[in-house]
Amino acid sequence: MITRVEELFLKLISSAVTGKPSDGISLSAEDADGLYRLADRHDLCHLVYYALSEAKIEIESFQVGSLMEQKYLKAIRRGARTDYAFSMAKELLAKAGIPYIPLKGVVINKLYPERWMRTSSDVDILVRKEDYKKAVDVFGGDARFEKGRECEHHYEFITEKKVKIELHRALMDEHDYKAADVVDDIWKSAACPVQGGMEYQMSDGWFYYHHILHMLMHFEKGGIGVRFFADTWLLNRDASEETRKEREKYLEGGGLARFAKAVEQLSDIWMNANRPTSPALLTMEKLVLSGGIFGTTEQRVQYGSQKAGGRARYLLTRIFTPYKRLKLIYPVIGKHPALTPLFQVVRWFRILLRPRQSLAGDEIRTMIKGGKVSDDEIKEMRQDLGLL
């Protein structure tokens, strides 16, 4: 069973996203405090405040009301800054003659009643692998963009207003999903709506497939926010039967059909202010609501342990970091692989000396603890979703 605050939260998000009135809601000072904390964990305070304002429901606590209003105004500013950063990036790529495909939030935000409602932490843009170095040089040579991290499949650039641009040469950073194998060839089906333009649009089938795959990545890492479910509902709201069948082909091909179906069912239930009944959806609901947008260490350990075949095996993967992951932490070993054992030891000392600043250290400390959802519940849910 979900709590009263969680139920209020879902009803208000539904109202903000769908435009349906949030009838019959009363809000005490205690409710408001819990609602703020939950919405903040999901980066959705702005939608809760918007729905409350539209319903003319007053927040009794002045402090909570002020905090929510600040988040609401900040979301509007974030939306404007994101739009401006995206327009700068598009202009830069167009001038350089580099074809590109917008990804994730900057595409999905057009489906919301107002674009600022769909907040994003960054702007994701895909370029062809052969254009990647040129695109990196173009951004790096523009004073409006400051260079950030260089990751395995993308380069980060930061604008003056602290908006992060992620320039991708491939869609996925993870290779442990068989589903990631079918993401490499999207350019063949991409379309450019403006003749001679540089902005391409991913085909609907590929875009939806990537959306679900991105959700799975976050879900199996222990955290996925309610926002992704609102996105899913909006992507399906006006989808024709033909469109849905086309999407199913991609999802079946990547082994994501059962997971996608569960996500669609839960998003539809939430956006229509209903309650799930199946054990798998109830477990998924519990994990999503408790994990927030970034997830919890307990959930990450539970998922990792099951994928690795037990906590002992998962512990070994956290102690002995795979080369690909270690290379992201210490880029120098990409050029000098012989240094890998040395930096493996350096990482161990880092965990021992600064355990509270280390993700692996945090996970190791929680190995003996249980999460809010039992291992058996998660295993049963993963079996129902086709993830085992």
Task: Evaluate whether 43 touches 117 at the Cβ level (below 8 Å).
Answer: no
What single DSSP character describes residue 123? E
Note the pLDDT tens digit of each residue in 115-150.
999 998 899 999 998 999 999 999 999 999 999 988
Reading the block at residue 77, the tokens are: 């500013």
pLDDT tens sequence across 79-98: 999 999 999 999 999 999 99
Q: Do residues 27 and 57 make contact, with C-beta atoms less than 8 angstroms apart?
A: yes
Ranges in the chain annotated CATH 3.30.460.10: 82-170
- The answer to whether 235 touches 211, Cβ cutoff 8 Å, is yes
The fraction of the chain above a pLDDT of 90, given in percent, is 56
- The pLDDT of residue 183: 46
50 phi/psi in degrees, rounded to 5: -60, -45
Alpha carbon distance 247, 35 (integer Å): 35
pLDDT (0 to 100) of residue 177 = 47
Which residue, among 140, 146, 168, has the nearest Cα to 155 in the 3D structure?
A: 168
User: What confidence score (pLDDT) does residue 369 get?
Assistant: 55
All residue ranges of the chain with pLDDT < 70 are 172-184, 303, 306, 308-309, 311-312, 315, 317, 328, 351-372
The confidence score (pLDDT) of residue 305 equals 72
Q: Residue 379: count other Cβ atoms within 10 Å of its Cβ.
A: 15
Q: Whole-angstrom Cα distance, residue 155 to residue 135?
A: 10
Residue 176: what pLDDT?
43
For residue 366, the model assigns a pLDDT of: 54
In CATH terms, the superfamily for domain 82-170 is Beta Polymerase, domain 2 (3.30.460.10)
